[in-house]
Structure 1
């Protein structure tokens, strides 16, 4: 698994924001698969980041979220996207592809649902509607 796959969705998207807002102050390639850098955090804070693409769990950041833990934080993602902008483009392309596929799945679901409903008799339709309304009422009573 790579850095992106190991990070939470929140860390990836916040890292993307940091990348786009040029929060990486300085960076250098420190090895074949490693980068070191300094990333501006919120306020005046600055964090020292080391990422290892080959061994993401060896990546480090001295931010409160990641310090002393084997997690991938937004500062690591920002450094990764800054050092390898194609990775940011590839990530966004995958997201766009997933969203397009999800839209198609949703459209197919509604088409199937519409076909199902049209195939019901009047009596079956009334029964299904009543069941749905009862279930909705039960859910409403559960939350209030």
Structure 2
């Protein structure tokens, strides 16, 4: 698993924001699979970041979220995307593709739902509607 797969979703998206906002101040390739650099934080602090693509859990950052922990933070993701912009582009393309597929699945679901509703008789439709309204009311009463 790579840095993106291990990171929390929020860290990836905030890292993308930092990448787009050019928050990476310095970047150095330190090995075949490693980089180090300085990333500016939202509070103006500068964080020392090291990433290891081969062993992501060996990556480090001295920000409050990641310091002393084996987690992937937004600063690491920003450095990674800056070091390898194609990875950032591929990530965005993958998200876009997933969203398009999800939209198609949702559209298909609604079409199937419409087909089902149209197949019901008037009596069946009234019974289904009454049952749905009762369930909705029970849920509202449960949360109040």
Q: TM-score range by the shorter chain?
A: over 0.9
CA drift at 1:42:
1.6
State how 1:1-144 maps to structure 2 within 5 Å.
1-144=1-144
Give the distance between the partners of 2:82 and 2:7, measured in 1 at CA.
16
Task: Normalising by structure 1, report the TM-score.
Answer: 0.99
CA drift at 1:28:
0.5
Structure 1 runs (4+) greater than 3 angstroms displaced: none
CA drift at 1:9:
0.6
Aligned length: 144
Task: Normalising by structure 2, report the TM-score.
Answer: 0.99
CA drift at 1:94:
0.2
Instruction: Provide the aligned C-alpha RMSD in A.
Output: 0.6
Structure 1 residue ranges without an equivalent (≥5): none
